[in-house]
Amino acid sequence: MTLTPPPLLPSPSLLRLRLAPHAGGPRAIDGAWWPRSYDLLAELPGLLAGLPRSWGHITSVVLNGAVWTPTPGRMFVAGQVVRLRRSLTATAAHTVVLLAPGHGRWDLLVVPPDATEEAAKPIMESVTGAGKVVASEPPVAIPRSRP
C-alpha cells in the first residue's frame, strides 16, 4: 500500500487593502479596499482581520445597499457581532464605512471587484497621496476584467 500526501489546500487570498497615512488632520478617505466579490459575508471577515489593531473592534459597517449582495442585519466575525447597515444615502456609492465605538470611523473606497489590475492599482496607490482621493469620486470608468 502506498501512502500519498493529502492534496494541498489553496492558500487564502491576500487582502487587497491600502491604508492612507494618518499624519495630520482628518481625511475624506482612510484607505482603499479591492474585494474579490460583492458578497459581504465572504469578504468582510478578511477585511476586518487585516485592519490595524489601533482601529479597535469594528461593531458596525455601513455599505451601499444597491451595490452589495443582500446581507442579514448582522453577522458573527471573529467571535463578535458586527451590525451591517445598508443605505443608499449614508455613504457614497463606492465606499464602506467602518465604525468602532471609542476609536472612530473609517471610510474605505471600494474598488469594484471586477476591475482589472491595471485600473485598480492607481486607485489603490492614490490613498497614500496627499489626500487627493475623496469619497465622491467613484471609480465608475474602471475597465472590468474579462472572464
pTM of the model as a whole:
0.76
Per-residue confidence (pLDDT) for residue 141, from 0 to 100: 41
pLDDT at residue 8 is higher than 60: no
What does the mean pLDDT of the chain come to? 79
Better-scored residue on pLDDT, 136 or 6: 6
Q: Which amino acid is at 50?
A: G
Per-residue confidence (pLDDT) for residue 143, from 0 to 100: 44
For the beta carbon of residue 129, count every other beta carbon within 10 angstroms: 10
Pull the grid cell for residue 104: 472612530
- What is the per-residue pLDDT across 36-75, written as a single tens digit (0 to 9) for each? 999 999 999 999 999 999 999 999 999 887 888 888 899 9
Q: How far apart are CA 41 and CA 86, in angstroms?
A: 13
Query: How many residues make up the chain in this entry?
Result: 147
Assess contact for 129 and 142: CB atoms under 8 A: no
Give every CB contact of residue 46 below 8 A, 6+ residues apart in sequence: 12, 13, 15
